[in-house]
Amino acid sequence: MPWAEILWVAAGCSGVVTLLSVAAAIRHGTKLHPFRDRMPGRVTLVLSVTGSVPGIEALFRALAAQTFPARRLIVAVESLDDPALARVRLAQHLLACPIQIVIGGKCDTRGQKCTNLIAAFRAIDAEDDAILLFDADILPQPWWLGTLVQPLLAGHADLVTGYRWPMLRQSRPLVQVLAWQDRAVGTLPKFRRFGIIWGGSVAMSRSAFDRLDLPMVLDRTLSDDLPIGAAARRLGLSVLTRDVLLLPTPMEGSATEFMRRQFRIVHLYRPFLFRAMSAIYAADAVGWIALFLLATASKMALALVVLLLGMRLTRWYLHDRVGRIIGAPDAPADRLRQALIAVTPPLGTLVILFLLVQASARRPLTWRHITYALDGPEKLRVVRRALP
């Protein structure tokens, strides 16, 4: 095959990826509506925290503003010496529901988050109709809790989840690039049969909680969401991803470390998905490079570049619209930065590829104050703790 034809085939890959990402954004924007049924029920919230827990006060205020009242909040911390314990106690007056604090303890063969959650599960009782696990870095909208649990209480699903929506509080180019890419993932369709769960917000019916046997599922694992999703799929449980449940999540700390850890978890627990992601991003990067090479000598290729850049700007507009609908609009300066990223391919794709390559390397992973050695999905050990 002549080189020109090879370049056109590669360029076609980028065209397909761009078209599908825009189609996904259009589809997502048409499905942003809350669950309309109003079913009564008693819901317990479960939160695992450790370390400094920045933003816990804002989180508790958001929980107090929920239109669907929670029965209680169970907060699990690592130990009595965990700095998170003092922060939670100082902020608990902001809540509108009772709080119960449990001590997770330490385990050297699983992630601290899983250890904390297992301790919290012991407090679940017969009064709970649904259980909701969530992360401390989200800023949920007032309709978050109701939209998560209503499909469960109405019997339309066994588990309900959503996805994060990165909030831009840093102007660094790399943070902007990662937000652009992650928002695209947030608008992708999530099919029930795949059982993909996001641990930042996942609610489950009481019957699903009992069937899953989460203490066993999370034993000897690093993360909670992908193992829970895999267990739900094995049991034939229905997993519903609510399109409107895009949770504003400030990009605090090192965004690259966060994304590298996320990719490492996918590589560990969903290797096929990791390979598929790598192949798509690689094809997109090669396609854009090929397209730019062709554009130097072909008016048709140049026209295709203009068309695809226009489509990427359309995707930027749709993402901006989604952000405004869910109550997390970008500041004017960030809107401009996101637009610039839209017209500078394959910058973001190459960054993600670099992080994917790093995530595939077998080396220790640091999460919060703990460093883990990972030898397999259920073969991990703690090698260092920065806190006593």
pLDDT recorded at residue 122: 96
pLDDT recorded at residue 238: 94
**H helix runs in 129-168, sequence order:** 144-153
pLDDT recorded at residue 192: 66
- Contact (Cβ atoms closer than 8 angstroms) between residue 80 and residue 103: yes
pLDDT recorded at residue 168: 86
pLDDT recorded at residue 62: 97
Backbone dihedral region of 236: left (phi > 0), alpha (psi from -120 to 50 degrees) or beta? left
Domains in the chain: boundaries: 3-28+270-359, 33-269
pLDDT recorded at residue 253: 64
- Contact (Cβ atoms closer than 8 angstroms) between residue 284 and residue 278: no
pLDDT recorded at residue 169: 74
Burial of 64 (0-12, 13-18, 19+ CB in 10 A): middle
In DSSP terms, 380 is beta-bridged to: 374
Q: Which residues contact 138 (CB under 8 A, 6 or more apart)?
A: 59, 164, 200, 201, 247, 248, 249
pLDDT recorded at residue 193: 66
Does this model's pTM top 0.85? My answer is yes
> Low-confidence residues of the chain, pLDDT below 70?
1, 3, 34-37, 170, 191-194, 252-253, 388
Q: Right CATH number for 33-269 from 3.90.550.10, 3.40.50.300, 3.40.630.30, 3.30.300.90?
A: 3.90.550.10
pLDDT recorded at residue 151: 93
Question: C-alpha 388: how far from its chain's center?
Answer: 29
Sheet bearing 201-205, strands edge to edge: 99-103, 72-77, 43-48, 130-134, 201-205, 159-167, 239-250
